[in-house]
């Protein structure tokens, strides 16, 4: 069996989780700005091009929301692994 430094593993997972949080915050901020701009445009945008853009925007929004849901599931899994590793390290006196 290999000799793994679980403290380094824990630090790496915590760093990854922190980076994931920043990523989600930035995405949400930028997407909210785009949504606000879209709502302003949508109120005055008409015609065939507007209808086509609405369809594409709807698909984009759905895919973004799906991405966020999946990323939150990854974050929850990371939280579980981090807590398990912290508990392991405590039991081992690390």
Query: How many structural domains are present in the chain?
Result: 1
Distance CA 85, CA 41 (A): 49
Q: What is the pLDDT of residues 73-86, one digit of tens each?
A: 999 999 999 999 99
Contacts of 20 (CB under 8 A, 6+ apart): 71, 74, 75, 78
- Whether residue 5 is contained in a domain is answered as no
Phi, psi at residue 46, to the nearest 5°?
Answer: -135, 170
- Whether residue 42 is contained in a domain is answered as yes
**Start-to-end Cα distance in the chain:** 19
Among candidate residues 79, 86, 66, 88, the one with its CA nearest the CA of residue 17? 79
Q: What is the pLDDT of residues 29-58, one digit of tens each?
A: 999 999 999 999 999 999 999 999 999 999
Domain that holds residue 29: 14-92
pLDDT recorded at residue 1? 47
| 3 band by pLDDT with thresholds 50, 70 and 90 | confident
């Amino acid at each position: 069996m290999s000799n793994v430094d679980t403290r380094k593993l824990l630090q790496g997972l915590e760093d990854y989780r922190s980076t994931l949080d920043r990523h989600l915050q930035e995405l949400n901020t930028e997407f909210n700005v785009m949504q606000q701009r879209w709502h302003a445009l949508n109120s005055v945008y008409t015609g065939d091009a507007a209808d086509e853009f609405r369809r594409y925007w709807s698909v984009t929004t759905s895919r973004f929301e799906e991405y966020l849901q999946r990323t939150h599931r990854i974050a929850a899994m990371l939280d579980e692994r981090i807590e398990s590793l912290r508990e392991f390290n405590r039991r081992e006196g690390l």
